[in-house]
């Protein structure tokens, strides 16, 4: 078994000078100050744009739009400083330090995080009526988990302020409790990321497509030749024109012409296919997102091909199930769910997590020996945490999470299963980002809590446990802002800055500080907006405010109509796990094998619903360029596709700033 040897001392270090001071790029106080000042600004911009202006999703992207835009602004300022005071310009390490801190923070304020948490903490009371009988499970809600009921009315009516003594006192306990929970969950993710970093970055050499663009545009503090490339600006110009035409049409001048690039009625394929069994394809739409095409160009061909191929494969399964009579109106409850696409996705995600751990078993054995046997042949000095610290942190945070689940009403066994399943699904979600780098992603439908209830049946859980699941749903329903993938990408970035990498221990401190500041900024922004405008205001983005009752509607459904164990779902999940493991085995045995297991896992979720066609286009462009122009033409064309991403992000953020400044209702460039 190969061991991890200590890195030799770098040549050129003067005698008597500490190698530690020359090994890493220094992170100056100014980088800390800039990063910390940006966190609350970007989070407020995020919350206002997504909740009030109904603008683009500034955080729910694999490369957060608001953070990349801030990075572009910093690069522009830095280039000016380099011309006037070259020695005072920010280095690449400082720029990426700011980027990673703000990425870690802004996710906390996004979809599936604070935007879902605050409505859930008040919706149980606001939406309760005598008719819906929610009061039957109110006794199971811990008082420490929710605000004082006296402060809930102003949350919905608005025309008030969070910053009154009554409101602050009413929210003090749940803010403290849930901030501690968020920190513990993200720290648990970070410990796992630390233990997997070397396996994925150094040994398997996953490409981490999402970090390639930030690293390229910050090279030498932003002085990269990329900015003088004409193809880059051609790529930038295309989405600038297309997105601006759409923004003007939908928000300012309805008669202004535009070219549809997002899913619209005319691009929905199912509306044009009406004969059975082909009409069983369900919602299938086309789109032409420039940034999706650009990011797909960075992927390996087998990954991008497999993603759109397996998405269409799910449609074929639906057609086949209908053709054989499994999905007819008169079919029984088991057959009616055929072909169990979501359950296949659960099995694929669990299978990919187990496959990843199997591949990493030599590395994990080394980390264990270093952590608990003191093996001096193994070096962890360039890791974000010592291996001992990572394991102890993982054990401690896991115990806290299990205990928190029990405090909400889950039994010890149920809480253990929930957190094990969630961490396995999250590991696969992180690997998909590291290897496929799609613009956004979704976990299997139902995630951890929904999977447990769907498989074993709601009758297997007490009303107290089901209520606990309802209060865990806010972060276990939409994973577009899951923190673990960004943590691994931050570690990859820290290892890749030039001329020297970032100190990974400094990165750890930065991420943990960013989590705390991000939590506070997200609480203040979300609650401040709702107390000012009122969550009951019809002009606010209703999908986010409706998170206040979605989980409890689901809970009441479980209580009203208990469901038994579904063996069909379990069988489909096992089949999905088996297929993804088979695909992984075939890839290791046959280099020519074209189907990647990540494609099957992604295709069985909602990830590809809106982006399958631009992924297909990105794959097609790259295939043709490599086939007829080779690697040389691929590299020459790369700036154009990077420009598609930068242009799409940049113009969307400029329009979002315009809507912020004018108070005008915005245009959602992403996702639909």
Mean pLDDT of 365-380: 94
Q: Is the pLDDT of residue 12 over 70?
A: no
Closest CA to 421 of 397, 447, 394: 447
Two tokens, residue 320? 């086949």
Say if residue 22 is preceded by a cis peptide, omega within 30 of 0: no
DSSP state of 439: S
- Angle (nearest 5°) at CA 30 between 26 and 32: 80
pLDDT band at 344 (very low <50, low <70, confident <90, very high): very high
N-to-C CA span, the chain: 49
Q: Are 496 and 212 in contact (CB under 8 A)?
A: no
Q: Are 40 and 517 in contact (CB under 8 A)?
A: yes
pLDDT in tens, 124-135: 999 999 999 999
Report the chain's mean pLDDT, rounded to a whole number. 91
Q: Is the pLDDT of residue 139 over 50?
A: yes
- Nearest-angstrom CA–CA distance, 226 and 364: 39
Q: Is the pLDDT of residue 329 over 70?
A: no
Q: Are 423 and 188 in contact (CB under 8 A)?
A: yes
Closest CA to 402 of 391, 390, 413, 388: 413
Considering only residues 339 and 529, tell me which one the structure prediction assigns the higher pLDDT: 529
- Nearest-angstrom CA–CA distance, 505 and 318: 49
Q: Is the pLDDT of residue 103 over 60?
A: yes
- Nearest-angstrom CA–CA distance, 322 and 479: 31
- Nearest-angstrom CA–CA distance, 410 and 416: 9
- Angle (nearest 5°) at CA 215 between 214 and 216: 95
The pLDDT assigned to 57 comes to 92
The pLDDT assigned to 265 comes to 64
Two tokens, residue 537? 């205001």
pLDDT band at 578 (very low <50, low <70, confident <90, very high): very high
Considering only residues 415 and 262, tell me which one the structure prediction assigns the higher pLDDT: 415
pLDDT in tens, 112-122: 999 999 999 99
Sign of CA pseudo-dihedral 64, 310, 613, 541: negative
- Nearest-angstrom CA–CA distance, 318 and 298: 31
Give 523's contacts (C-beta < 8 A, 6+ positions apart). 114, 118, 171, 175, 179
- Nearest-angstrom CA–CA distance, 449 and 410: 11
H helices of 289-411, in order, are 290-296, 301-323, 333-336, 341-359, 361-373, 387-407
Q: Are 670 and 65 in contact (CB under 8 A)?
A: yes
Question: How much is the pTM?
Answer: 0.93
Q: What is residue 285's three-state secondary structure?
A: strand
pLDDT band at 267 (very low <50, low <70, confident <90, very high): confident
Give 666's contacts (C-beta < 8 A, 6+ positions apart). 49, 53, 54, 55, 56, 251, 655, 656, 659
Two tokens, residue 247? 């923004």
Q: Are 637 and 231 in contact (CB under 8 A)?
A: yes
Sign of CA pseudo-dihedral 224, 226, 229, 233: negative
What CA dihedral angle connects 497, 81, 510 and 526, to 10 degrees?
A: -120
The pLDDT assigned to 27 comes to 84
Two tokens, residue 236? 């930038």
Give 548's contacts (C-beta < 8 A, 6+ positions apart). 119, 120, 122, 123, 124, 126, 127, 535
Report, in this order, helix, strand and coil percent for the chain, each rounded to 5: 70, 0, 30
Q: Are 52 and 541 in contact (CB under 8 A)?
A: yes
Q: Are 99 and 127 in contact (CB under 8 A)?
A: no
- Nearest-angstrom CA–CA distance, 419 and 426: 10
The pLDDT assigned to 336 comes to 56
Residue extents of the structural domains in the chain? 27-662
The pLDDT assigned to 531 comes to 97
pLDDT band at 155 (very low <50, low <70, confident <90, very high): very high
- Angle (nearest 5°) at CA 575 between 574 and 578: 85
According to DSSP, the residues that pair with 502 across neighbouring strands are 25
Report the b/e string of 110-149 with b at 16+ CB within 10 A.
bbbbbbbbbbbbbbbbbbbeeeeebeebeebbeeebbbee
H helices of 108-164, in order, are 114-126, 152-157
Closest CA to 106 of 482, 546, 432, 530: 482
Give 377's contacts (C-beta < 8 A, 6+ positions apart). 3, 4, 5
Two tokens, residue 184? 């513990």
Q: Are 277 and 322 in contact (CB under 8 A)?
A: yes
pLDDT band at 15 (very low <50, low <70, confident <90, very high): very low
- Nearest-angstrom CA–CA distance, 443 and 478: 7
- Nearest-angstrom CA–CA distance, 446 and 424: 14
The pLDDT assigned to 167 comes to 97
DSSP string, 163-192: -SHHHHHHHHHHHHHHHHHHHHHHHHHHHH
The pLDDT assigned to 335 comes to 52
Two tokens, residue 87? 């020695």
- Chain center to CA of 248: 29
pLDDT in tens, 280-322: 888 899 999 999 999 999 999 999 999 999 999 999 998 998 8
Two tokens, residue 439? 């613009």
Sign of CA pseudo-dihedral 55, 60, 63, 67: positive
Two tokens, residue 612? 């399958």
Q: Is the pLDDT of residue 523 over 50?
A: yes
């Amino acid at each position: 078994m190969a061991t991890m040897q200590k890195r030799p001392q770098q040549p050129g270090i003067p005698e008597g000078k500490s190698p530690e001071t020359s090994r890493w790029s220094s992170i100056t106080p100014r980088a800390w100050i800039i990063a910390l000042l940006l966190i609350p600004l970007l989070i407020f911009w995020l919350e206002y744009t997504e909740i009030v202006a109904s603008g683009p999703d500034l955080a729910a992207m694999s490369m957060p739009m608001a953070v990349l835009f801030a990075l572009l602004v910093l690069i522009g300022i830095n280039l000016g400083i380099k011309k006037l005071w070259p020695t005072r310009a920010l280095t690449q390490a400082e720029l990426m330090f700011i980027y990673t801190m703000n990425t870690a923070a802004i996710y906390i304020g996004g979809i599936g995080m604070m935007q879902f948490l605050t409505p859930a903490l008040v919706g149980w009371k606001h939406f309760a009526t005598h008719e819906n009988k929610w009061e039957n499970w109110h006794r199971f809600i811990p008082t420490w988990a929710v605000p004082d009921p006296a402060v809930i009315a102003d949350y919905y009516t608005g025309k008030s302020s969070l910053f009154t003594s009554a409101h602050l006192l009413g929210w003090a306990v749940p803010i403290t409790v849930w901030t501690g929970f968020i920190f513990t969950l993200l720290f648990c993710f970070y410990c796992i990321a630390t233990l997997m970093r070397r396996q994925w970055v150094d040994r398997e050499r996953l490409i981490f497509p999402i970090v390639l663009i930030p690293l390229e545009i910050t090279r030498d503090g932003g002085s990269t030749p990329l900015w003088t490339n004409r193809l880059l600006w051609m790529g930038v110009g295309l989405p600038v024109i297309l997105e601006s035409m759409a923004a003007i049409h939908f928000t300012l001048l309805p008669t202004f012409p535009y070219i549809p690039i997002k899913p619209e009625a005319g691009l929905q394929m199912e509306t044009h296919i009406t004969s059975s069994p082909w009409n069983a394809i369900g919602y299938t739409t086309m789109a032409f997102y420039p940034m999706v095409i650009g990011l797909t160009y960075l992927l390996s061909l087998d990954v991008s091909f497999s993603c759109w191929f397996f998405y269409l494969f799910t449609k074929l399964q639906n057609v086949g199930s209908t053709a054989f009579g499994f999905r007819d109106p008169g079919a029984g409850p088991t057959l009616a769910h055929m072909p169990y696409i979501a359950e296949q996705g659960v099995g694929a995600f669990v299978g990919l997590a187990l496959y990843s751990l199997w591949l990493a078993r030599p590395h994990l054995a080394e980390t264990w020996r270093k952590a608990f046997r003191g093996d001096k042949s193994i070096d962890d000095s360039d890791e974000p945490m010592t291996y001992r610290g990572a394991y102890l942190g993982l054990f401690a945070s896991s115990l806290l999470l299990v205990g928190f689940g029990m405090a909400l009403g889950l039994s010890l066994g149920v809480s253990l299963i929930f957190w094990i399943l969630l961490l396995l699904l999250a590991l696969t979600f992180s690997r998909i980002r590291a290897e496929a780098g799609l613009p956004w992603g979704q976990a299997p439908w139902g995630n951890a809590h929904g999977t447990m209830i769907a498989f074993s049946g709601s009758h297997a859980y007490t009303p107290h446990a089901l209520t606990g699941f309802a209060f865990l749903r806010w972060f276990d329903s939409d994973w577009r802002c899951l923190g673990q993938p960004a943590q691994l990408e931050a570690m990859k970035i820290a290892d890749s800055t030039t001329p020297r990498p970032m100190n990974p221990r400094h990165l750890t401190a930065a991420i943990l500080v960013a989590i705390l500041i991000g939590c506070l900024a997200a609480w203040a922004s979300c609650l401040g907006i709702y107390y000012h405008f009122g969550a009951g205001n019809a002009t606010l983005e209703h999908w986010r405010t409706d998170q206040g009752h979605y989980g409890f509607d689901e809970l009441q459904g479980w209580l009203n109509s208990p469901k038994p164990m579904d063996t069909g779902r379990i069988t489909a999940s096992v089949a999905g796990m088996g297929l993804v493991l088979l695909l992984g085995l075939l890839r290791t045995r046959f280099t020519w094998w074209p189907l990647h297991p990540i494609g099957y896992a992604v295709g069985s979720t909602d990830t590809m619903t809106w982006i399958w066609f631009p992924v297909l286009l990105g794959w097609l462009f790259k295939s043709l360029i490599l086939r007829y122009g080779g690697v040389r033409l691929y590299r020459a064309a790369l700036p154009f596709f990077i420009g598609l991403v930068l242009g799409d992000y940049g113009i969307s953020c400029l329009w979002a700033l315009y809507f912020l400044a004018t108070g005008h209702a915005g245009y959602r460039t992403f996702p639909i």
